[in-house]
Amino acid sequence: MTLHIALIAHDKKKNDLVRFATAYKHIFEKHQLYATGTTGTRIQEETGLSVYRFQSGPLGGDQQIGAQIANNKMDSIFFLRDPLTAQSHEPDVTALVRLCDVYAIPLATNLGSAEVLIKGIERGDLAWRTLEEQEDSIETS
């Protein structure tokens, strides 16, 4: 089962996310990856993983990923947030987190929760997302 996974990181967390993607490359390479601008470029360049890149977060990338969530096109989100630095696009960040809650999309916002989520993906714990996608396609038919 191929999942659609978004990778996002605030500036001070980009190195952490690149290291995380490197450590779990063997899992991520089995799935379709999406990321916001600079984060996606760094992950691609430093890991060799294929990543579809949206705009950078402040330029609307968070909102683009949010639209994918609202259209049931995203299965999980790794969003390493920097809680100690004010973000110019904080309302977009808040909206993205809210959409994950509304649509029950697993969201990891720090390395601890990212570790738990990636292990769940590896075990196949997100198989219920396939059922959600099937139900959505039946309803729109």
For residue 59, give the 3-state DSSP assignment.
Answer: helix
**Sign of the CA dihedral running 118, 124, 128, 132:** positive
Query: How many C-beta atoms lie closer than 10 Å to residue 100's C-beta?
Result: 21
Catalytic residue positions, numbered: 62
Dihedral pair phi/psi, residue 64, rounded to 5° = -65, -40
Cβ-Cβ contacts under 8 Å for 119 (sequence gap 6 or more): none
Q: How far apart are CA 104 and CA 99, in angstroms?
A: 8
